[in-house]
Every structure is written in C-alpha cells, then in structure tokens.
C-alpha cells in the first residue's frame, strides 16, 4: 500500500490543534538525561489523534516548508511564545505529518487572543513565503503589527 501525501503546492495545509505545553513541561530532566514527560506524551498522543481525524494519516512530502503558527493562550499569564514551539513541532513530527522539522525554512509565530483551554492554528505552505508575504502586504494592507492579538474568527481574513 502506498503512502498518501498532502500536496501543499496546490493549496496550503491548515490545522487547528491543542494548546502546546512549554518546552519546560514537554521534557523532563533527570540525572539519566532528558526524556519526554508524562505531559509531553499526553500532548503528543493528542496531536496524533487530532491529525488522524483531520488528515486521515496523510503526511507531507519532503521539501522546503513555511509555517505560520498562531497561538491562542488559555489565560493572560506572561509567556514566551517560542517556548511552546519545540513541543508543537516535535509532536507534528512524532505524529508523522512531517518527517523532519529541519524542512521548516520559515517559521512565523503570532500571539492570538485568549481562548478557554487554549488552541493553536497552524498553516503550512510549500517553499519560503517571502514573495507571498509581500503580495499580501500590498493587496490586503496587512503588516506585522496588525497580526498581534488576532482573534480566532479573524484567521480566515489573513491566511
């Protein structure tokens, strides 16, 4: 049986996934080394289930990827957004969507509005999107500052 791949050259892949734990909670540090924590395993399993439902086991072919991640935190606590990316990317890889996160050549992380339970929106595109971004800026009047604090219902207008 051959594997089914998602063709992101024709259209971008958009996913809604669970709020990712910070890298401090995704991994455990012991005297024997660094290991996936119980919370990390729980999140990785949840992402595998989410992607199974959304994609039916299909995955991306090898190649250069651009990724936009909008993180919708569960509360107003201060957070470093980059601390949540390691668990998210490692879970996408563990779920089989991408074979190696080394393929991600462009990564944009945006803080969304606070939503109960937290959530993450992930948009994956083929190649590096600098040209697309310039086109968006000119056509839509979107700039980097207008993405900050974006609402979940506004995603469809920027992607």
Give the pLDDT score at 154: 60
| CATH number of the domain to which 137 belongs | 3.30.1330.70
Count: domains in the chain: 1
Question: In order along the chain (159 residues), what is the average pLDDT of each group of 10 residues?
Answer: 74 92 85 89 93 89 91 94 93 92 92 95 83 46 49 54
Please tell me the distance from the alpha carbon of residue 77 to that of residue 104, in angstroms, as a whole number.
Answer: 29
- Give me the half-sphere count of Cα atoms (radius 13 Å) on the Cβ side of residue 136: 13
Q: Give how far Cα 69 sits from Cα of 85, 103, 104, Å.
A: 9, 16, 12
Contact of 41 with 94, CB cutoff 8 Å: no
Q: Measured at the alpha carbon of residue 96, what is the angle toward residues 90 and 102, in degrees to the nearest 5?
A: 50
pTM over 0.75, yes/no? yes
Query: Which residues are bridge partners to 69 per DSSP?
Result: 109, 122
- Which of 114, 108, 107 lies closest to 149, judged by CA? 114
Domain that holds residue 140: 5-158
């Amino acid at each position: 049986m051959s594997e089914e791949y998602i063709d992101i050259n024709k259209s971008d892949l958009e996913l809604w996934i669970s709020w990712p734990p910070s890298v401090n909670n995704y991994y455990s540090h012991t005297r024997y080394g660094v290991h996936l924590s119980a919370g990390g395993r729980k999140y990785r399993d949840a992402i595998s289930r989410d992607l199974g439902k959304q994609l039916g086991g299909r995955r991306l072919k090898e190649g250069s990827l651009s990724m936009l991640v909008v993180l919708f935190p569960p509360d107003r606590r201060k957070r470093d957004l980059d601390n949540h990316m390691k668990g998210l990317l490692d879970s996408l890889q563990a779920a089989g969507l991408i074979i190696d996160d080394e393929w991600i050549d462009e990564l944009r992380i945006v803080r969304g509005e606070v939503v109960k339970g937290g959530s993450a929106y992930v948009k994956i595109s083929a190649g590096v999107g600098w040209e697309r971004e310039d086109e968006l800026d000119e056509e839509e009047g979107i700039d980097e500052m207008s993405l900050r604090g974006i609402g979940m219902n506004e995603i469809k207008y920027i992607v």
